Amino acid sequence: MVGNTRVIAARLSMWRLTLLGGVALALVTNGLVVAATPANAEVLPKPPAKAEVLPKPPVVDAQVLTPAQLAEQIKAAEALRADLMKSSAEVAAANTRLELLSAQANTPLANLSVARTAEVAAEAEAAAQQAHLVQLGLEVGAAQDGMGQLASDSYVRGGGPLGDIAAILEALTAPSADRSTDSMATVQYLVDARARIFERLESLRSDQVLTSAKADTASTKAAAAAKTATDAKTKLDTIIAQQRSALDALQSAQAVRISQAAGVRGALLRSENKIAMAADSRLAQVLQGQDFKLLMDASSNCGKDTAIYPNGMFPATALCPLYAAPNEGLRRDAAMAFNAMSNAYQQQTGSPLCVTDGYRPLAEQIAVKLATPRLAATPGTSQHGLGVAVDLCGGVQSFAAPAHLWMQQNAPLYGWFHPTWAEPSGTMPEPWHWEFAS
């Protein structure tokens, strides 16, 4: 059975030809050929308006590529590799410009913070000065009341300045020196008291003018500084926004290329051609895991439909795509575990796991059963129809291959296992068949 694995794998792929009914194969002008997109595959995002619109690839069966089609796939991989290198450099340059502008924004932001602090302090000082002005106003009013009282005493009650003049005359006409001395002391006290009232009033008025000027100056200066800093930051924000918009456009266009690369990689891996595998490795080096990250970012909304469906009757909303095989899907938990396992395999070997089959609709189960009656499960009972089984290639389909040994050692870490019946000593040895235990 082990020696016939390639024959069996070939037979497994024949049912696809039966379903397609001789789909016409065509090549686009730029040679880009990718795998067919089934109902459960995610729709690629549209590139931005200014991005280059890549031609739509033709529909082909990636498992039965002719040598010419395989050559076109390798050519497409190399073209995508060059394009990704260019776009990655453009994104890196845009990021560098954005970082530079962000660094330049630090000084205006610091100035703005200082200006805001000064403005707040100035406003507080202005408020304090205004309060002081109110107090000064009360004191001035009191002093003016005192002056008014002096006038009242003079003209109404006979005191005040007229009384002072009388006291002065009395001192000048005193009959004795002793009395004259006492009277002069009284005169001096009266004169000093009146002088202090006038001096206090003048001081209060001067203080009012100075305090008001200080408050106005501090507030005006702080407002001007804040406006200057704000204007500088606004201009810089405009430039940064433009750069960020340009960067977003570049990243969006790059995401389209990365999505296309996933389909090309799947076709290259399934071909098991050494030259194709080498092209996939070169493409993987340029991607640097971006295709896996893109898949995981997009996986947040896939497979959220958790209703119970009959075997082989799952809608696209209940499935998630597989890494490097976006035209294959599984139930959400199985897909997430498989994608993590495939990414780990790539980190160790340079390529993701090669997938020939994932979820299998009932119609496909029937076709497989007709094509390989001894190998396929009864339609409606297959684990593929529940979205928890995969058939793998890339060496896993051989019990003696390192890829199969890797799966034996690592698959259980991700919830995947090789069923007993598929073991070499099982009732139906299938090294390529693996299942997920939820």
Task: Give the residue among 195, 194, 170 at the shortest CA–CA distance from 183.
Answer: 170
What residues does each domain of the chain span?
Answer: 100-248, 289-438
The model's pLDDT over 132-165, given as tens digits with 9 standing for 90+, comes to 778 877 877 776 676 666 555 555 444 445 555 5
Task: Report the percent of the chain where pLDDT is more than 90.
Answer: 29
Per-position b or e across 76-92, b if 16+ CB within 10 A of its CB = bbebbbebbeebbebbe
Angstrom distance (rounded) from CA 65 to CA 268: 10
Overall pTM surpassing 0.85 (yes/no): no
* Token couple for 267: 């076709």
pLDDT tens per residue, range 55-79 = 433 333 445 568 888 788 888 888 8
Per-residue pLDDT band at 236 (split at 50, 70, 90): confident
Report the amino acid identity of residue 296. M
pLDDT(5) > 50? no
Note the CATH number of domain 289-438: 3.30.1380.10
Give the pLDDT mean for 329-357: 95
Give the integer Cα–Cα distance in Å for 120 and 206: 26
Q: Any idea what DSSP says for residue 41?
A: S
pLDDT-derived band at 321, boundaries 50, 70, 90: very high
**How is residue 323 annotated by DSSP?**
T
Give 236 or 265, the one with higher predicted confidence.
265
**Average pLDDT of 361-374?**
93
Nearest by Cα to 24 from 76, 53, 60, 48: 60
Number of alpha carbons in the 13 Å side-chain half-sphere of residue 381: 4
In the chain, what's the furthest Cα-to-Cα distance? 153
